[in-house]
Amino acid sequence: MSGTLFQDNPRQPRLFKKGDLKYVILDIVKDYPVHGYDITTVLEERFHGLYSPSAGSIYPILQFLENLNYVTSCRKDGKNVYTITNEGKSFLEEEKDTTDKIKKRFQGLWGSANKEYFQDVRAVLNYSSEIRHIIGRIAVSKDSAKVAGIKEILAKAFNEIKALTEENNQ
């Protein structure tokens, strides 16, 4: 499920604050030598499929960490395998408060084993994504009657969702 809820879309919130992903990646690399695909897999598992980073977000960070001498890489079976250096371990130790804050932010996701719940969340996100695509196609067709109908349906759904979420926050 590539390009999920937490992509760099101006209309959607960013999952990681600027610069946070480097801490998460370095924390993964500290456990054992990995290649970029391993990191993607670990993050997909931690986020129960709700976040799937692209190679375009993982490899530049690995290169950045390598430039800082926090990781080293070697070619193995045609892939770069990354290993944390002593400097990288020291950096993680110095930044333990930062990494702890990041882990705490995602604790509800990373610590949960409720697969049915995450399937429901993915279904909701898929509906949202599909609705955006449908609206885009209708916008191109310039069918004002359909746009007005969708607007009415979505306004009602939005108000019901908002009421539901406000009920749970009381």
Question: Are 31 and 105 part of one and the same domain?
Answer: yes
Q: Give a yes or no: residue 4 inside a domain.
A: no
Question: Are 97 and 58 part of one and the same domain?
Answer: yes
Q: What HEC string does 56-95 produce? A: HHHHHHHHHHHHCCCEEEEEECCEEEEEECHHHHHHHHHC
Question: Are 30 and 68 part of one and the same domain?
Answer: yes
Q: What is the pLDDT of residues 2-46, one digit of tens each?
A: 444 444 444 444 566 687 889 989 999 998 899 988 898 888 877
Please give the residue range of the domain that contains residue 85.
Answer: 20-111
Residues 6+ apart with CB under 8 A from 71: 26, 29, 62, 65, 82, 83, 84, 85, 88
Q: pTM to 2 decimals?
A: 0.61
Question: Are 133 and 73 part of one and the same domain?
Answer: no
Question: Are 46 and 125 part of one and the same domain?
Answer: no
Question: Are 42 and 106 part of one and the same domain?
Answer: yes
Q: How many domains does the chain have?
A: 2
Cα 74 to chain centroid distance, Å, stands at 27
